[in-house]
């Protein structure tokens, strides 16, 4: 039996959901909440399998309630419900750990399917939002990767990788078809950017910061 908690400030909407799920033999409504704070408290008490969480509720909103719940009960599958396609809230809810994002005007069969999917530990995002969600997280990933580079160029990262592998300036110049003077200049720049003084420090720093990967 899939144990579901409802969190929405509209009583009639919760009643409609309860009636819908009571028709399903494998789904049971174990609790209801009308505010974000109560949703958190009830979730910690009931430990449901799935929570249908309205994004906009009085006081603590659904996005923050989701964060608080999943910090303590990460195994709970939270599905966000909303009337609007609000990208920013979608991204924040997913970053907070929500496994589903469904529009309230969705077909009832699709909502029931989403509950079962999330209860299995999988994710469910409304098709009209999926492309924008993927694009945003790709952009965020690229920004994160750029920050992790510590301002180094592709060539500097390449040379830093070879330093971490123990290569000398002469070996690096031969491998990259650069003069030893050019390699030395690159290494000086790398040390300045990383505020380090020698090759060993540079290699250790790069590995610790995840700037490079080496066997």
Q: What is the mean pLDDT of the chain?
A: 85
Q: What percent of the chain has pLDDT over 70?
A: 84
Q: Do domains 2-143 and 149-208 have the same CATH topology?
A: no
Rounded CA-CA distance 107/181 in Å is 67
> Which residues are bridge partners to 100 per DSSP?
79, 124
Which range among 87-91, 148-152, 197-201 has the greatest average pLDDT?
197-201
The pTM is what? 0.63
Residue 114 buriedness (CB in 10 A; 0-12 / 13-18 / 19+): buried
Model pLDDT, residue 39: 96
* 198's tokens: 């020698």
Sorting pLDDT into bands at 50, 70 and 90, what band is 83?
Answer: confident
Comparing CA positions, the residue from 48, 128, 144 lying closest to residue 95 is 144
| Structural domain boundaries in the chain | 2-143, 149-208
The domain 149-208 having CATH identifier 1.10.10.10: the answer here is yes
- Domain formed by 2-143, architecture: 3-Layer(aba) Sandwich (3.40)
Better-scored residue on pLDDT, 186 or 202: 186
């Amino acid at each position: 039996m899939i144990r579901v908690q409802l969190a929405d400030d509209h009583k009639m909407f919760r009643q409609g959901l309860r009636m819908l799920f009571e028709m399903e033999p494998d789904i049971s409504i174990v609790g209801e909440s009308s505010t974000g704070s109560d949703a958190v408290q009830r979730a910690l008490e009931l430990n449901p399998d799935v929570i249908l969480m309205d994004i906009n509720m009085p006081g603590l909103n659904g996005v923050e309630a989701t964060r608080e719940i999943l910090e303590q009960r990460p195994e709970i599958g939270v599905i966000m419900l909303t009337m609007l396609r609000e990208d920013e809230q979608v991204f924040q809810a997913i970053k907070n750990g929500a496994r589903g994002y469904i529009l309230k005007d969705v077909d009832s069969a699709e909502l029931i399917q989403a509950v079962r999917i999330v209860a299995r530990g999988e994710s469910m995002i409304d098709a009209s939002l999926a492309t924008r969600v993927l694009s945003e997280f790709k952009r965020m990933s690229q920004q994160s990767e750029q920050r992790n580079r510590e301002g180094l160029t592709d060539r500097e990262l390449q040379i830093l990788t070879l330093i971490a592998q123990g290569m000398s300036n002469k070996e690096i110049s031969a491998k990259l078809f650069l003069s030893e003077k050019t390699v030395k200049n690159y290494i000086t720049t790398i040390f300045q950017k990383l505020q380090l003084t020698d090759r060993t420090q540079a290699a250790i720093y790069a590995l610790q910061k995840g700037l490079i990967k080496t066997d």
